[in-house]
Protein backbone atom coordinates (compact mmCIF):
# COMPACT_ATOMS: atom_id res chain seq x y z
CA UNK A 1 0.00 0.00 0.00
CA UNK A 2 1.52 3.34 -1.01
CA UNK A 3 0.73 6.54 0.81
CA UNK A 4 -0.06 9.52 -1.41
CA UNK A 5 -0.22 12.21 1.25
CA UNK A 6 2.21 12.72 4.13
CA UNK A 7 0.96 11.74 7.58
CA UNK A 8 -0.58 14.43 9.75
CA UNK A 9 1.57 15.12 12.78
CA UNK A 10 0.12 16.10 16.14
CA UNK A 11 -0.47 19.84 16.47
CA UNK A 12 0.04 20.03 20.22
CA UNK A 13 1.46 17.99 23.13
CA UNK A 14 -1.92 16.55 24.12
CA UNK A 15 -2.47 15.14 20.63
CA UNK A 16 1.09 13.83 20.63
CA UNK A 17 0.65 11.88 23.89
CA UNK A 18 -2.70 10.55 22.65
CA UNK A 19 -0.98 9.34 19.48
CA UNK A 20 1.72 7.62 21.54
CA UNK A 21 -0.99 5.89 23.59
CA UNK A 22 -2.65 4.68 20.37
CA UNK A 23 0.69 3.28 19.21
CA UNK A 24 1.04 1.51 22.57
CA UNK A 25 -2.45 0.03 22.28
CA UNK A 26 -1.88 -1.13 18.70
CA UNK A 27 1.39 -2.76 19.70
CA UNK A 28 -0.36 -4.60 22.52
CA UNK A 29 -2.92 -5.95 20.04
CA UNK A 30 -0.22 -7.17 17.67
CA UNK A 31 1.92 -10.28 18.04
CA UNK A 32 4.93 -8.25 19.19
CA UNK A 33 4.30 -8.57 22.93
CA UNK A 34 7.94 -8.03 23.93
CA UNK A 35 8.11 -4.80 21.94
CA UNK A 36 4.71 -3.73 23.21
CA UNK A 37 5.76 -4.30 26.83
CA UNK A 38 8.97 -2.30 26.39
CA UNK A 39 7.14 0.56 24.69
CA UNK A 40 4.39 0.55 27.32
CA UNK A 41 6.97 0.67 30.13
CA UNK A 42 8.82 3.58 28.53
CA UNK A 43 5.58 5.46 27.96
CA UNK A 44 4.45 4.75 31.54
CA UNK A 45 7.74 6.13 32.84
CA UNK A 46 7.19 9.28 30.83
CA UNK A 47 3.58 9.66 31.96
CA UNK A 48 4.53 9.06 35.62
CA UNK A 49 6.58 12.26 35.59
CA UNK A 50 3.69 14.23 34.11
CA UNK A 51 5.85 15.27 31.20
CA UNK A 52 8.56 16.72 33.48
CA UNK A 53 11.10 14.27 32.11
CA UNK A 54 11.85 14.83 28.42
CA UNK A 55 10.47 12.13 26.15
CA UNK A 56 13.88 11.30 24.69
CA UNK A 57 15.23 10.66 28.20
CA UNK A 58 12.19 8.54 29.17
CA UNK A 59 12.69 6.44 26.06
CA UNK A 60 16.41 6.09 26.87
CA UNK A 61 17.52 7.93 23.73
CA UNK A 62 19.74 10.29 25.73
CA UNK A 63 22.99 8.64 26.78
CA UNK A 64 24.01 8.50 30.39
CA UNK A 65 27.10 10.41 31.46
CA UNK A 66 30.15 8.92 29.75
CA UNK A 67 28.15 7.00 27.15
CA UNK A 68 27.80 7.85 23.50
CA UNK A 69 24.54 8.59 21.72
CA UNK A 70 22.47 6.09 19.80
CA UNK A 71 23.31 7.68 16.43
CA UNK A 72 27.06 7.28 16.94
CA UNK A 73 26.66 3.69 18.11
CA UNK A 74 24.40 2.85 15.19
CA UNK A 75 26.78 4.47 12.70
CA UNK A 76 29.73 2.50 14.15
CA UNK A 77 27.78 -0.78 14.01
CA UNK A 78 26.87 -0.11 10.37
CA UNK A 79 30.50 0.77 9.61
CA UNK A 80 31.78 -2.41 11.25
CA UNK A 81 29.27 -4.56 9.37
CA UNK A 82 30.22 -2.84 6.11
CA UNK A 83 33.92 -3.49 6.82
CA UNK A 84 33.29 -7.19 7.32
CA UNK A 85 31.14 -7.32 4.17
CA UNK A 86 33.87 -5.58 2.13
CA UNK A 87 36.43 -8.01 3.53
CA UNK A 88 34.34 -11.04 2.59
CA UNK A 89 33.29 -9.70 -0.84
CA UNK A 90 36.49 -8.13 -2.13
CA UNK A 91 39.39 -9.31 0.03
CA UNK A 92 38.28 -12.83 0.90
CA UNK A 93 41.58 -14.39 -0.12
CA UNK A 94 43.45 -12.34 2.48
CA UNK A 95 43.85 -13.08 6.17
CA UNK A 96 42.58 -10.44 8.62
CA UNK A 97 45.94 -8.65 8.87
CA UNK A 98 46.42 -8.42 5.11
CA UNK A 99 42.81 -7.48 4.52
CA UNK A 100 43.00 -4.74 7.17
CA UNK A 101 46.12 -3.31 5.51
CA UNK A 102 44.57 -3.32 2.03
CA UNK A 103 41.21 -1.94 3.19
CA UNK A 104 42.89 0.88 5.15
CA UNK A 105 44.94 1.78 2.07
CA UNK A 106 41.90 1.71 -0.20
CA UNK A 107 39.73 3.76 2.17
CA UNK A 108 42.49 6.37 2.31
CA UNK A 109 42.52 6.47 -1.50
CA UNK A 110 38.73 6.77 -1.72
CA UNK A 111 38.76 9.60 0.83
CA UNK A 112 41.01 11.66 -1.45
CA UNK A 113 38.76 11.66 -4.50
CA UNK A 114 35.64 13.74 -4.77
CA UNK A 115 33.69 11.62 -7.25
CA UNK A 116 33.43 7.94 -6.45
CA UNK A 117 33.94 5.54 -9.37
CA UNK A 118 30.81 3.51 -10.15
CA UNK A 119 32.25 0.11 -9.19
CA UNK A 120 30.75 -1.60 -6.16
CA UNK A 121 34.03 -1.93 -4.23
CA UNK A 122 34.71 1.81 -4.35
CA UNK A 123 31.12 2.58 -3.42
CA UNK A 124 31.33 0.25 -0.41
CA UNK A 125 34.64 1.80 0.68
CA UNK A 126 33.17 5.29 0.30
CA UNK A 127 30.23 4.24 2.48
CA UNK A 128 32.63 3.03 5.17
CA UNK A 129 34.45 6.37 4.96
CA UNK A 130 31.14 8.21 5.31
CA UNK A 131 30.09 6.08 8.28
CA UNK A 132 33.47 6.85 9.89
CA UNK A 133 32.42 10.51 10.01
CA UNK A 134 34.87 11.44 7.29
CA UNK A 135 37.97 10.02 8.95
CA UNK A 136 40.14 7.31 7.51
CA UNK A 137 40.60 4.11 9.44
CA UNK A 138 44.03 2.73 10.21
CA UNK A 139 45.12 -0.85 9.74
CA UNK A 140 45.20 -1.51 13.50
CA UNK A 141 41.70 -0.11 13.97
CA UNK A 142 40.28 -2.24 11.15
CA UNK A 143 42.07 -5.32 12.43
CA UNK A 144 40.75 -4.74 15.95
CA UNK A 145 37.22 -4.44 14.52
CA UNK A 146 37.67 -7.77 12.69
CA UNK A 147 38.99 -9.44 15.85
CA UNK A 148 36.24 -8.02 18.07
CA UNK A 149 33.53 -9.17 15.68
CA UNK A 150 35.20 -12.57 15.40
CA UNK A 151 35.27 -12.85 19.20
CA UNK A 152 31.58 -11.92 19.36
CA UNK A 153 30.81 -14.64 16.81
CA UNK A 154 32.78 -17.16 18.89
CA UNK A 155 30.86 -16.21 22.04
CA UNK A 156 27.54 -16.52 20.20
CA UNK A 157 28.61 -19.92 18.89
CA UNK A 158 28.63 -18.85 15.26
CA UNK A 159 32.23 -20.01 14.76
CA UNK A 160 34.13 -22.85 16.32
CA UNK A 161 36.06 -21.97 19.43
CA UNK A 162 38.83 -24.28 18.18
CA UNK A 163 39.59 -21.87 15.33
CA UNK A 164 39.48 -18.82 17.60
CA UNK A 165 42.54 -17.97 19.66
CA UNK A 166 42.41 -14.80 21.68
CA UNK A 167 46.16 -15.05 22.43
CA UNK A 168 47.16 -15.45 18.78
CA UNK A 169 44.71 -12.80 17.63
CA UNK A 170 45.93 -10.37 20.31
CA UNK A 171 49.56 -11.10 19.41
CA UNK A 172 48.85 -10.38 15.76
CA UNK A 173 47.15 -7.12 16.71
CA UNK A 174 50.05 -6.13 18.99
CA UNK A 175 52.67 -6.71 16.23
CA UNK A 176 50.92 -4.59 13.60
Asked if 92 and 141 sit in the same domain, the reply is yes
Domains: count for the chain: 2
- Inter-CA distances, 31 with 19, 23, 27, Å: 20, 14, 8
pLDDT of residue 98: 92
Tell me whether residue 125 is in a domain.
Answer: yes
Q: How many CA atoms lie within 13 A of 25 on its CB side?
A: 6
Full-model pTM: 0.65
Tell me whether residue 4 is in a domain.
Answer: no
Q: 3-state DSSP call for residue 113?
A: coil
Under-70 pLDDT residues of the chain: 1-4, 6, 9, 116-117, 157-176
Q: Please report the sign of the dihedral spanned by the C-alpha atoms of residue 133, residue 138, residue 141, residue 147.
A: positive
For the chain, the maximum distance between any two Cα atoms, rounded to a whole number of angstroms, is 60
Rg (CA), the chain: 22
Asked if 85 and 163 sit in the same domain, the reply is yes
Tell me whether residue 149 is in a domain.
Answer: yes
Asked if 41 and 87 sit in the same domain, the reply is no
Asked if 96 and 121 sit in the same domain, the reply is yes
Tell me whether residue 63 is in a domain.
Answer: no
Tell me whether residue 3 is in a domain.
Answer: no
Tell me whether residue 146 is in a domain.
Answer: yes
Asked if 54 and 76 sit in the same domain, the reply is no
Tell me whether residue 2 is in a domain.
Answer: no
Report the alpha-carbon distance of residue 65 to residue 82 in Å, rounded: 29
Tell me whether residue 145 is in a domain.
Answer: yes
Per the structure, the complete domain to which residue 165 belongs is given by: 70-175
Asked if 85 and 53 sit in the same domain, the reply is no
Amino acid sequence: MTRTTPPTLPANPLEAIQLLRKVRDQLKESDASEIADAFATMLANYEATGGAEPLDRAFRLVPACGQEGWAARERRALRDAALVEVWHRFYAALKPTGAAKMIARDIARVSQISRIPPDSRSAALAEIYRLSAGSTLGQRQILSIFKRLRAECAVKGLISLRTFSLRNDATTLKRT
